[in-house]
Structure 1
Amino acid sequence: METKKKVVIPRPKPLTSENDPLHIIKTRMVTHNRPATIAGPMVRYSKLPFRQICRDYNADIVYSPMILAREFVRNEHARQADFSRNSSDTPLIVQVGVNNVTDLLKFCEMVAPYCDGIGINCGCPIKEQIREGIGCALIYNPDLLSSMVRTVKEKYKDTLRLETKIRIHDDLDTTVELCRRVCDAGADWITIHGRTRRTRSSQPVNLDAIKYIISKIKDKNIPVVANGDCFQLSDVTRIADYTGANAVMAVRGLLENPALFSGYGRCPWGCIERFWYRTIEYTCLPFQLTQHHLFCMLENMQLSKSLLKELMSTKSLPEMLDWFEDNFELKRYGEKGFGERVEIPYIKIE
């Protein structure tokens, strides 16, 4: 009878100044005269092709989508569907939705060789996740959250960075106490989304809350990332200056305009061409997800509603590519000017 060989997962390589997210967060103001810029996690949307175009446009650190630990560690199909990367996909933080130490350790063992840090999701407000003890549920369970952070850091130390992304409580001092406990447990930095579990994204982010929390944990000497309502490059400096944060994370703003951190007020056409190239090259996005990414970017570019409707009526990747080539001049990778144009290059019909 043949015995199966045990698969040995390599330990993560030591972090360097080039790929250590903690070093980048701490030093960007000195090296680049600006706060660190971070492309935050979006369920489904923060996959490899999209992460790469965010990097093309000055995102210093990029997150994966939230991945559910219990599915990932038990299901090979989930691993194939949820996580892909390449050698240039760094610094990368893999965000995890998890509600117990055991699954978190198994998850870290699987992904640590392929990323630079793990982010524990403590901010997802979706009711189904909260019922499972995931996402926002963790800000009401500081004992469990602290235990998860401490266990991972004791095992990996500085070979793997660990972050927690939280929402705020109605009582801000409760959030302060949570952050202090997470700091003591060994987290490398904390990301604060300035909304409560019940605050709608249409309501303004509470920058005063982020500022207050940062002021109360300064003695812990841990970096803080501010998250919420970053839609223009000017917002990065404004948010960081007001709150005292070391870095600023954008999420919805990047979905519409991946070039946000490069100072483009609207999504440039170059994003479209780069996204098409990466999507076809990596072949890791479902058609509907690809379609929605392109819709968000083109809507931000103020494409007409009639053309947006035509885009969304396409039923396959080849059909959608044909539609693009019928309406626009779409350069291929390697062609002169690829990924450089700003305005939409409509094809003029005589």
Structure 2
Amino acid sequence: MMNRRSLALALPGIFQLCSLLNPALAGEWYRTDLSSCMITNIGNQQWQVSFTMTTIVAGSGASVGPAVSNYLVIKIPTISGTGGMNSTSFVWNPVPVEDLSLPSLVAVRGTPSSATPGLVLGPPGTGALVLTSGRNGSVTFTIKPTTANNAYPAAVVYVTAVSSTGEGRTGNYWFIPNYTKGSCSFGSGSNPPVTPPPVTEIMPVDPEFTMNSPEWMLQTTDLVDIPNVTSAGTGYPVTINNVNNNNLCVRYVTAGVTNKQYAVAVTNSASSQGGRNLFTLPGPDSSQLFYNLQLASNDGNSANNFNFPAIGTPNYITLGQANNYSSDHSEMCWTPKINLFKNASTKEGLHSDTLNFIITPKA
């Protein structure tokens, strides 16, 4: 009887011990959240990405299995065929990321491949890809797109956090130029929260303007045919010899002028003569002829014509986009027209001047 009582008294103690052990057998899964997301143009065709990562216990309990993964992948999108961002294709050989700074106890794991085209961030070593709680701090890196790597200056940080019993979260944080400025955009799909701007808008191509140097030889003109600057009318329309082979032409990289407007400007000073603004052709013995210039665009669009000396707001135009000079260059040309005027100082003889042209972009 004494032994049975002892056994009976011992059983509750065993049951009590088992009930204390049950919570300790429960699992927990971890999640990494991002905050303070930024992407900044730091010049020289480089962008800096920064964010703060915070790893927390996202769930625990008797029905929760242990964590099987909690890691990040930094991915850099490629440029699409239309010049936008390809949100499902990423550069991996190599990933165009430099100056990567990570919190302590976070490291780059493995080598990027076509299957995992990015930098995997997890705990150091070769163990499970599970960032446990407390792996917190700032992450910064620089994106360096080049023609060779075809990288779009944006970033996707893919996060995956899963437990053995199915709890978890996966998705993308997006870093889009001119959009990601402190807040973080998370989504479970492959579409960014906004339409990224064309790469030519955020990585402008140098237009590389070149201008020919035409020589406009004016036909010999009778002085008596040239009106005085005080006379009404538009002046004497002098003939330019061989004008078709002496058009003013501008060549440029077509992609560099997309969605931009430019004006052709003359830097020479003009003077007021008889109520008109005119350029001066110096001649012998202090003789002067006066003239204005019209440039008629060879594309036949009068909106692309220029008049000089210019008065008031410059006439901005959109340069042609036809790649009519080479595979990536365009050329736009103008035919000159010159009207002459004289005053009391004008004498017979050779008169000449040099006009200096510049291309001015619209602000």
Q: TM-score, normalised by structure 1?
A: 0.22
TM-score, normalised via structure 2 length: 0.21
**Higher share in strand:** 2
